[in-house]
Amino acid sequence: MSGDTSGDTSGESGHPGGDVNVDLSVEVRVDAGRTAAGSGRAAARRALRTVGRYTFLSAVLGFFALPLLWLASAPFDAAPSITAALPEFTLENFRALLDDPRALRSLGNSTVLAAGTGALVVTLAALAAYALSRVRLPGRDALLYVLLLLSSIVTGTAAMVPLYNLAFELNLIDSQLGVILVLSGGLLPSAVFILKDFMDGTPRSYEESARVFGASPLQVVRHVVVPVVRPGLATIAVWSVAQVWGNFLIPFLLLRSPDKAPAAVVMYTFYTEGGQPNLALIATFSLLYSLPVVAMFLFVSARYGFRFHGGIKR
Amino acid sequence: MPTTSRPDGAPRGRPAGDAAGLGRGRAAAFVAPAVLLIAGFLLFPALWTLYLGLTDYRLTGLAAADPQLVGLENFERALGDDRFGDSLWLTLQFVVGSAVLGQAVLGFTLAWLLRDRRGPLRRLVEALVLLAWILPSSVVAFLWIALLDRDGGTLNALLGTPGTGWLLEYPMASIIVFNIWRGAAFSMMLYAAALGSVPPSELETARLAGASPLQQLRDVVFPRIRGHVLTNLLLISLWTFNDFTPFLLTAGGPDGRTEIMPVFVYQAALSGGELGFGAALSVLMLLVNLAIALVYVRLLRRRKDAVA
């Protein structure tokens, strides 16, 4: 700022919380000229700021909408081209989906992979998170953090070669079970980490009273704990299903026969295989393939509110 | 359901908190399946990468049947290889450009501008930004290929620049912009949550004292959310570093100008068939990842020291 900064107000004391903290010593430099001048300039500046803000937000809207336009227009265009344009409306393109045997089959494959991985991750993560939350096993916290760091680093690309070898040795190349196991191994650490937070937050008195009435530990988990942490389980289920649904690399790496390929891989072959790409097929397939994740996302955000929980905190 | 009068967390005769009476044995049994799966398909491959990097293992041929230990040869070769250096440099550009500068700045700006807004504009912006984030990667890859296409691409039609093959002429800039578009949502949501932790009274005080928005940001907001900023940068840097999606757009080309590390490993190991060399590259990649993580952890710790 210019040289006429005079009134440094520091260490304001009006904070209601009262927790004294170095961060609180707010240093605000006041432009003395501005406080003295009339409100005219301030109003002009505010107006300018408002214009700037709306211009920026419009640009952002344009930037994010532009690539999506094609997905909204091309599936319904009688003559789909690669350019997004107002469509000459038709549903004829969806016939292309039925004509290509790979399209619907790949969505079925994706469903198998996503459901299998989701079920495995939710079950194993819930058991592990519950035990880790209630019983102090030695080295628990260090283990959790190491696994979390490792999973964000190793998942996918860096461990490509040994994952391929491992699947080869275990006879899991071209097996959907292999993909499910590899994906679950990668997703489990984060799932356990997030679920443990949910478990920590549930009251223990319920479990104790169930014990008093003679329930076994497994019964306690099934009839008392699971209903209480259901939002957490739903979050993990949706999260892992979405991860698998969009995952390209692992099935691309491990599956060989075309009739086992999930939608992510088939979509890629649709536009990279030689010859003229079938735009009607690509457009409708993209839309159909995207809808489940969008629907799931809307469902979760309406039901539980989409926000960060667990894992991401200071 | 009846409740006991005993307060939470103080059961008699059992470890604190073990309300269901699991005991160590059953607890271990509960944890075991998850640990086995993680050990088998995450830890073991990671360790195996270390070993494979020391061999001349190949996808086909003599070395496929009987790989030999070759010591650090693969690492020497990688470090002496221009392609490795180039790839690392490209990856750095990609991470700094699209994650640290792009996603974090755009995400924060959006969170800041929308922080006390309700209504359709905010919902529309958030919906579009999130949509870019949740759509499957091979779908968004095609959307961008269509957008940037040389002959019929929407971008060329809009800008009136027919015949510009963006992915061929500006491949790196294209995947950077693509990744900003793809991932800004995460930063936006994280910063929106972080801004919620800044007491409105402090902002109000600053505003009344005449601080401009930039001054408010510098003096009130940033000191409060530094931890969030570091967490955010750590996560998006790691994710972007390991991101394979650009492969769907450019497959590393043209002429290797977008051959970032994940794509390089894939090309070397599985297209080129040199699994040992690819594993050595993976190990080097892991080391870079570790270095990124350590830098951030150190910065976080320094922050805690400064506050304490």
User: How confident is the model over A119-138, as pLDDT tens digits?
Assistant: 999 999 999 988 888 887 77
Q: How far off is chain B from A294, nearest CA to CA, in Å?
A: 7
Residue B72's pLDDT is 83
| Rounded (10°) CA dihedral A84, A87, A90, A96 | -10
Q: With 60 as the cut, is the pLDDT of residue A291 above it?
A: yes
In the block, tokens 């707010």 appear at A26
In which residue ranges of chain B is pLDDT below 70? 1-21, 61-63, 303-308
Would you tell me how many other CB atoms lie within 10 Å of the CB of residue B10?
9
Q: With 60 as the cut, is the pLDDT of residue A19 above it?
A: no
Best A102, A135, A290 member to test B by mutation, with max B CBs in 10 Å, is: A135
Best A10, A12, A13, A64 member to test B by mutation, with max B CBs in 10 Å, is: A64
Residue A75's pLDDT is 85
- CA nearest B36: which of A260, A188, A76? A188
Q: What is the DSSP letter of B257?
A: T
In tens, the pLDDT along B157-201 reads: 888 888 888 888 899 999 999 999 999 998 998 898 888 878 888
In tens, the pLDDT along A44-99 reads: 888 888 898 889 999 999 999 999 988 888 888 877 777 777 777 878 788 888 88
Spatial separation of the C-alpha atoms in residues A69 and A87, rounded to whole Å = 11
Cis peptide before B254 (omega within 30 of 0): yes
Residue A29's pLDDT is 47
Spatial separation of the C-alpha atoms in residues A246 and A243, rounded to whole Å = 6
Of all residues in chain B, the one with the smallest CA distance to A131 is B27
Residue B22's pLDDT is 74
Residue B104's pLDDT is 95
In tens, the pLDDT along A269-278 reads: 888 776 677 8
Q: What is the pTM of this model?
A: 0.79
CA distances to A7, A12, A15, B13, B221 from A18, rounded to whole Å, are: 24, 11, 6, 40, 18
Answer whether A248's CB lies under 8 Å from B266's CB. no
Q: Which of B143, B235, B293 sits opposite A68 (nearest CB)?
A: B143
| DSSP labels, A152-205 | HHHTTGGGHHHHHHHHHHTT-TT-HHHHHHHHHHHHHHHHHHHHHHHHHTS-SH
- Interface pTM (ipTM) of the complex? 0.82
CA distances to A25, A41, A50, B214, B246 from B210, rounded to whole Å, are: 16, 13, 18, 11, 46
Residue B63's pLDDT is 67
Of all residues in chain A, the one with the smallest CA distance to B239 is A152
Residue A27's pLDDT is 44
Residue A38's pLDDT is 61
> How high does pLDDT run on average in chain A?
78
The mean per-residue pLDDT over the stretch A101-117 comes to: 92
Q: Where does chain A show beta strands of DSSP type E? A: 5-9, 28-31
Q: What type of residue is B226?
A: R
Residue B174's pLDDT is 94
Would you tell me how many other CB atoms lie within 10 Å of the CB of residue A242?
19
Q: What is the DSSP letter of A22?
A: G
Among A77-81, A171-175, A238-242, where is mean pLDDT lowest? A77-81
How buried is residue A102: exposed, middle or buried, by Cβ count under 10 Å (0-12/13-18/19+)?
buried
pLDDT-derived band of residue A155, with 50, 70 and 90 as boundaries? low
CB contact under 8 A, A57 and B125: yes
Among A128-137, A149-158, A196-205, where is mean pLDDT lowest? A149-158
- CA nearest B87: which of B244, B248, B240, B264? B264
- CA nearest B4: which of A225, A220, A212, A216? A212
Q: What are phi and psi for residue A180, nearest 5 degrees?
A: -60, -45
CA distances to A67, A114, B125, B171 from A62, rounded to whole Å, are: 9, 33, 10, 22
Spatial separation of the C-alpha atoms in residues A15 and B224, rounded to whole Å = 14
Per the structure block, which two tokens stand in for A197?
A: 């937070």
Spatial separation of the C-alpha atoms in residues A288 and B7, rounded to whole Å = 52
B227: which chain A residues are within 8 Å (Cβ-Cβ)?
314
Q: What are phi and psi for residue A89, nearest 5 degrees?
A: -60, 135
CB contact under 8 A, A211 and B20: yes
Residue A9's pLDDT is 39
CB contact under 8 A, B149 and A22: no
Residue B102's pLDDT is 94
CA distances to A202, A282, B178 from A285, rounded to whole Å, are: 43, 5, 21
Residue A60's pLDDT is 93
Give residue A273's Cα distance to chain centre. Answer: 30
Per the structure block, which two tokens stand in for B277?
A: 């060399």
Q: How far off is chain B from A111, nearest CA to CA, in Å?
A: 14
CB pairs under 8 A between A and B: 347
Residue A181's pLDDT is 93
CB contact under 8 A, A68 and B131: yes
Q: Which of B106, B134, B227 sits opposite A297 (nearest CB)?
A: B134
Spatial separation of the C-alpha atoms in residues B178 and B246, rounded to whole Å = 9
Q: What is the DSSP letter of A30?
A: E
Residue A4's pLDDT is 39
pLDDT-derived band of residue A15, with 50, 70 and 90 as boundaries? very low
Spatial separation of the C-alpha atoms in residues B299 and B234, rounded to whole Å = 11
